């Protein structure tokens, strides 16, 4: 029998998965084939896979490889968010930011594939902090963009 907190988590995650899959389906059906759209598809597909695998990993009994599989799309989020931001801004981010994000993504994927990301208490805190840091940096680039040089598509 599932406890009340897990049932609530399953419901919220499941609704998120259904909504994300619905959005992904709409994007695929109404393709414009633009570079930005490809970046959005990558980001939304990662989120959809993450939510679906997460739902499955909560329903089945604890399987260590499923925990790592659940986190694999999440470890690719810094790269996907950076590509999306570059497409949104229609320009490359500074090389130092791209190098940092690529390095972070490679490290996160490697640590996850080793099985430590799901089990190490320090990494379980460092991972969301790293994601938050990348999101804040990317948000700053969007907030401080040169509005005159970015026109509506």
Please list, residue by residue across 83-93, b when 16 or more beta carbons sit within 10 angstroms of its beta carbon and e when fewer do: bbbbbbbeeeb
* Residue 66 within any structural domain of the chain: yes
- 49 is written with which tokens? 């896979």
* Residue 150 within any structural domain of the chain: no
* Residue 127 within any structural domain of the chain: yes
- 151 is written with which tokens? 């026109």
Question: What is the pLDDT tens value at each position of the chain, 153 positions in all?
Answer: 678 888 899 999 999 999 999 999 998 998 887 888 999 999 999 999 999 998 888 888 777 777 778 889 999 999 999 999 999 998 899 999 999 999 999 999 999 998 888 888 999 899 999 999 999 999 999 999 877 665 555
* Residue 61 within any structural domain of the chain: yes
Please report the DSSP string for 27-57 in residue order: HHHT----HHHHHHHHHHHHHHHHHHHHHHH
How many structural domains does the chain have? 1
**134, 104 Cβ separation under 8 angstroms:** yes
């Amino acid at each position: 029998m599932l406890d009340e907190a897990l049932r609530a988590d399953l419901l919220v995650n499941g609704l998120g998965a259904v909504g994300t899959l619905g959005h992904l389906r709409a994007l695929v059906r109404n393709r414009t084939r633009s570079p930005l759209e490809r970046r959005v598809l990558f980001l939304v597909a990662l989120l959809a896979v993450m939510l679906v695998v997460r739902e499955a990993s909560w329903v089945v009994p604890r399987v260590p490889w499923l925990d790592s599989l659940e986190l694999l799309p999440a470890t690719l989020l810094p790269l996907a968010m950076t590509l999306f931001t570059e497409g949104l801004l229609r320009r490359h981010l500074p090389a130092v930011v791209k190098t940092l994000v690529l390095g972070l993504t490679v490290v996160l994927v490697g640590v996850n594939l080793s099985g430590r990301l799901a089990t190490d208490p320090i990494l379980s805190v460092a991972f969301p902090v790293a994601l938050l840091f990348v999101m804040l940096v990317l948000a700053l680039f969007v907030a401080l963009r040169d509005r005159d040089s970015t026109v509506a598509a």
